[in-house]
Copies of this chain bind each other. A is one copy, B any other.
Amino acid sequence: MTELDNEMHRESGSKSSSGRKHRLSAHEVLFYEGDRADRIYEVLDGVMMLYKLLPDGRRQVVYVLRAGDMLGFTNHDTFDCTAEALTAVELQVYETREVATSPLLQHYVNRCLLSQMEHLHEHTVLLGRKSAMERVATFLMSLVPDRGGANCAGPANRDAPDMRSVVLSMTRQEIADYLGLTIETVSRVISQLKRKGLIKVEKQDSIHIQNVCGICQLTGMH
């Protein structure tokens, strides 16, 4: 069941979406920058990224999409970014005209747009003003639900250690291209955090944060 279905039930009980689904395996491209845009998509499961390339090959990942996020909307008739799966992904497909005729769908798309805009503003601050350490710390905190934001829940209780395992779902290169750094810098910062005892690298793709508050203090937002 899609997030939109959930919302439909909550808000009006109207019928479910048409049900066209699409699957991608890891690192498969959904669409390329410049492709004709005729559908929008909702991520049901898995992780995707939007990125842009400069002619000399430099890449910037502009957005990371998770379950509930939508992608594919555009002002023009072509996509302004390339969309690629980071993991295996399941998508809900919506036709453009389907969106135009459903006020409910339109409303949900709008909410997604506003939420993406807000996140892009935050990421702009990260890219424009934060140090490498602050960028990586912010990235790690973004993977811990209910922590680090405006309404941070704080440590669970004062005695229990403030730990949490997070799955990156991205290679070092993808993280670097997301944070505006090089792969070496990302690696060095992670090693620093290891040496400080703030994290443990469980697998390349999975990090155990030993002290969530400690990482949060490094984000530049406190």
Residues on A close to B: CB < 8 A? 50, 52, 54-56, 58-60, 62-63, 73-75, 80-81, 110-111, 113-118, 120-125, 127-130, 177, 179-180, 220-222
Q: Quick check: B55 and A124 within 8 Å, CB to CB?
A: no
- Measured between beta carbons, the chain B residues less than 8 angstroms from A220 are 54-56, 58
Task: Return A128 CB to nearest CB of chain B, in Å.
Answer: 3
Task: Return A94 CB to nearest CB of chain B, in Å.
Answer: 15
Task: Return A9 CB to nearest CB of chain B, in Å.
Answer: 21
Q: Quick check: A120 and B118 within 8 Å, CB to CB?
A: no
- Measured between beta carbons, the chain B residues less than 8 angstroms from A73 are 114, 117
Q: How many copies does the complex hold?
A: 2
Q: Quick check: A74 and B129 within 8 Å, CB to CB?
A: no
Interface centre among A60, A75, A124, A125, by most chain B C-beta atoms within 10 angstroms, is A124
Interface centre among A116, A128, A180, by most chain B C-beta atoms within 10 angstroms, is A128
Cα(A7)–Cα(B123), bound, Å:
32
- Measured between beta carbons, the chain B residues less than 8 angstroms from A113 are 110, 113-114, 117
Given contacts A110-B110, A117-B116, A117-B120, contact A125 B62 (CB under 8 A): yes
- Measured between beta carbons, the chain B residues less than 8 angstroms from A81 are 121
Task: Return A17 CB to nearest CB of chain B, in Å.
Answer: 20
Cβ contacts A to B, 22 pairs, < 8 Å: A50-B121, A52-B124, A54-B130, A54-B221, A55-B222, A58-B129, A59-B129, A60-B128, A60-B129, A62-B124, A73-B117, A80-B121, A110-B110, A113-B114, A117-B120, A120-B120, A123-B124, A127-B127, A127-B180, A128-B179, A128-B180, A129-B180
Task: Return A75 CB to nearest CB of chain B, in Å.
Answer: 4
Given contacts A75-B114, A129-B60, contact A124 B121 (CB under 8 A): no
